[in-house]
Amino acid sequence: MKHPGVPHPSALHDTHAQPDDRNVVLERVGVTRLAIPIRILERSGGVQHVSALAGIFAELQPALKGAHLSRLVELMTGCANQPIGREEIFKMLQDARARLDSPCAEINLHFGFFVPRHAPVTRLVAPQRYRCLLRGRSDARGYVFQLGLQVPITTLCPCSKSISDRGAHSQRAFVSVGLTYTRAAPIWFEDLIDLVEEQGSAPVVPILKRLDEKFVSEHAYNNPKFVEDVVRDVIIAIKQGVDGFDSLSVECESQESIHAHNAYAMTRESAVATDDDYFDALRWSGSFGASSAPLP
């Protein structure tokens, strides 16, 4: 439908395409916190509908004043309610580079992913939400894809247990994992969540009856861990349980119950040569923000 008095787009001045003489390349120009519904494949073969916060960026060449950000929003909107994984993100990145005539593009998707968790004794089940992340980058060097997630666990302090006649302080901690991989087969969020939860002093469970609470409390007491222990154990568990990843980052931040500050440990390992600058830019603590921050 044509509206009288509305000019054709070609007749309007394109400010973004105007030249810029400052000779400064902008590494990332785009949009952040774009809310979009997407679908994530489950290990069981099902599909989970999630609400994601998306970021999509492209490199802006020094000769251009600005990027046409509406084109990036159009691209993401076209992916709404579609299954998204490693291959789909690659196609989206290629599209973004073409639309903005850019040598580089990045996409990240933050969302909550639900997994059913069982109480250890009564076996009552309830869904638990985990922070998850899909992220990709495409440039002249190729395609980099990363999967991230954050898992709550319980930690019980080994020092507190060893020096106390009775009890030991325990608290909730958050383990953040980032994996870069190029293999064709997917790495399932559920597999990583299971591996990470097993490395805490005890799991965090949505529903606990008294029998369950007794079991979890005693299990944590018999399995004390520092954040250092958790990070080392998670690294080993993933290396033994997951094949075909290129690089791995693990962080643990414990919300100490006897301090006003948190305890923290982090490490990373790489099976292949990686772009360290890019890897640093994808630190999971920066991606997820504070552990208490609201989920998308």
pLDDT in tens, 137-196: 999 999 999 999 999 999 999 999 999 999 999 999 999 999 998 887 889 999 999 999
Q: What class is the 21-288 domain?
A: alpha beta
92/78 Cα distance (integer angstroms): 10
pLDDT at 2: 61
Crossing angle (nearest 10°) for helices 69-77 and 86-100: 150
- Residues of the chain with pLDDT > 70: what percent? 84
Average pLDDT over residues 246-264: 95
Is pLDDT of 277 > 80? Answer: no
- CB-neighbour burial class of residue 213 (10 A; exposed 0-12, middle 13-18, buried 19+): middle
Q: How many CB atoms lie within 10 A of CB 210?
A: 9
Res 281: pLDDT: 39
* Secondary structure class of 295 (helix, strand, coil): coil
Q: CB–CB of 177/152 below 8 Å?
A: no
pLDDT in tens, 170-186: 999 999 999 998 887 88
What is the average pLDDT score of the chain?
Answer: 88
* pLDDT for residue 232: 97
Question: Does the pLDDT at position 13 exceed 70?
Answer: no
Between CA 82 and CA 93 the distance in angstroms is 16
DSSP state of 54: E
Whether the CA torsion 70, 136, 196, 175 is positive or negative: it is negative
Query: What ranges do the domains of the chain cover?
Result: 21-288
Long-range contacts of 184-191 (CB under 8 A, 24+ apart): 185/244, 186/41, 186/85, 186/86, 187/147, 187/242, 187/244, 187/245, 188/42, 188/43, 189/40, 189/43, 189/113, 189/115, 189/130, 189/132, 189/147, 189/149, 190/42, 190/43, 190/115, 191/43, 191/241, 191/242
Pick from 240, 168, 188, 151: nearest CA to 45:
188
Of 279, 53, 255, nearest to 154 (Cα)?
A: 255
Residue 141 CA to residue 204 CA, distance in Å, equals: 41
Region 224-235: mean pLDDT is: 97
In the beta sheet, which residues pair with residue 117? 126
Q: Which two tokens stand for residue 238?
A: 């993933």
Token output for 75: 């691209």
Which pLDDT score, from 0 to 100, does residue 11 have? 61
pTM for the full predicted model: 0.86
Return the minimum-mean-pLDDT range out of 7-11, 64-68, 241-245, 250-254: 7-11
Give the pLDDT of residue 23. Answer: 85
Of 55 and 64, the one with more pLDDT: 55
Q: Is the pLDDT score of 217 beyond 90?
A: yes
Cα–chain center distance at 250: 12
